[in-house]
Amino acid sequence: MADCQNGANVTESASNLVELNAVDFAYTAGGKPILSGLSMRFPRGKVVAVMGGSGCGKTTVMRLIGGQVRPQQGEILFNGANIPALDRDGLYAVRRQMGMLFQFGALFTDLSVFDNVAFPLREHTDLPESMIRDLVLMKLNAVGLRGARDLMPSEISGGMARRVALARAIALDPALLMYDEPFAGLDPISLGLTARLIRSLNEALGATTIIVSHDVNETFQIADYVYFIADGRIVAEGEPEALRASADPFVHQFVHAEADGPVPFHYPGPSLADDFTGEAAR
């Protein structure tokens, strides 16, 4: 066993809440590979960001960790358990330790703010209603919205709704928090507030956070470590300061939001000349 031969590896593994080891993934067997040989580390207590262009597979990484999809190859370890190998009950138990805020993850519009946050507690625990009330108010307090408990989603702003969604994601005190594009569609003030909340909730819960985002400024402010994915692989990784200073062309283009660089502006297709002369149609 590798454990016996290499003490350093054991220590390293134990310090990661989540690990991806050489993961290959395609949505259909034999279909277009989305992730190829992807390995990532998510150390306990840290905020780690997964970044990259639209369609590069960021949400897919979250679905793999959540066990919604299974890889063709490789391991996805959560607390040492290989997620793809878990049975239904095992997966359910592991998911209980994960708080997820999905991309476009909306609140239940027919439930009040209070009932939205209470939902996972009622779904996953047998706690008495009096205790659920205390827990919900604590979570709402943590996001500054205890006073909004009786409002309906239609009565609150988009920024407030995102904070209610955060409170719902942390309702069960998860060990792992995963946020998919948590800054999308927010005004600059809500954006800054949400970013600071994501950081402070991680500290308060003693959790580990994974953020999937393409928003460099906000993400770099709160992430301890950043992975950049392109073409199903990691093209760059490091601490935000190091990446900001990186001369790597991909990182430079992404961090400085340049239209031209290794990531082309144009979707691959026939040349402009061919399209206009009709050559492309032949």
Ligand X SMILES: Nc1ncnc2c1ncn2[C@@H]1O[C@H](COP(=O)(O)OP(=O)(O)O)[C@@H](O)[C@H]1O
Regarding 165 and contact with ligand X (CB under 6 A), the answer is: no
Q: How far is the CB of 91 from ligand X (least distance, A)?
A: 18
54 binds, among ligand X, Mg ion, none (CB under 5 to 8 A by kind): ligand X
Is 60 a residue that touches ligand X (CB under 6 A)?
yes
Residue 27 tokens, joined: 């949505």
Q: Looking at 41, 58, 149, 163, which residue binds ligand X (CB under 6 A)?
A: 58
| Binds 34: which of Mg ion, ligand X, none (CB < 5-8 Å by kind) | ligand X
Nearer to ligand X, 39 or 59 (CB): 59
Q: Which is nearer to ligand X, 55 or 278 (CB)?
A: 55
Asked if 235 is part of the footprint of ligand X (rule: CB under 6 A), the reply reads no
What does 57 bind: Mg ion, ligand X, none (CB cut-off 5 to 8 Å by kind)?
ligand X
Assess contact for 153 and 200: CB atoms under 8 A.
no
Name the one range near ligand X by CB under 6 A: 7-15, 55-63, 143-151, 167-175: 55-63
* Binds 109: which of Mg ion, ligand X, none (CB < 5-8 Å by kind): none
Whether 97 contacts 86, CB under 8 Å: no
Under rule CB under 6 A, which residues in 20-49 are in contact with ligand X? Answer: 27, 34
What are φ and ψ of residue 25, in 5° steps?
Answer: -145, 135
HEC sequence for the chain:
CHHHHCHHHHHHHHCEEEEEEEEEEECCCCCCEEEEEEEEEEECCCEEEEECCCCCCHHHHHHHHCCCCCCCEEEEEECCEEHHHCCHHHHHHHHCCEEEECCCCCCCCCCCHHHHHHHHHHHHCCCCHHHHHHHHHHHHHHCCCHHHCCCCHHHCCHHHHHHHHHHHHCCCCCCEEEEECCCCCCCHHHHHHHHHHHHHHHHHHCCEEEEEECCHHHHHHHCCEEEEEECCEEEEEECHHHHHCCCCHHHHHHHCCCCCCCCCCCCCCCCHHHHHHCHHHC
Which stretches of the chain bind Mg ion, using CB under 5 A? 58-59
Asked if 56 touches ligand X (CB under 6 A), the answer is yes
Residue number with CB closer to ligand X (50 or 98): 50
**Residue 219 in the binding site for ligand X (CB under 6 A):** no
Among 39, 59, 82, 246, binds ligand X (CB under 6 A): 59
Nearer to ligand X, 58 or 149 (CB): 58
Output 64 or 136, the one with its CB closest to Mg ion.
Answer: 64
114/183 with CB nearer ligand X:
183
CB of 184 to ligand X, least distance (A): 11
Both tokens of 100, joined, read 């997820």
Applying the rule CB under 6 A, the residues between 124 and 163 that interact with ligand X are none
Residues that bind ligand X (CB under 6 A): 27, 34, 52, 54-60
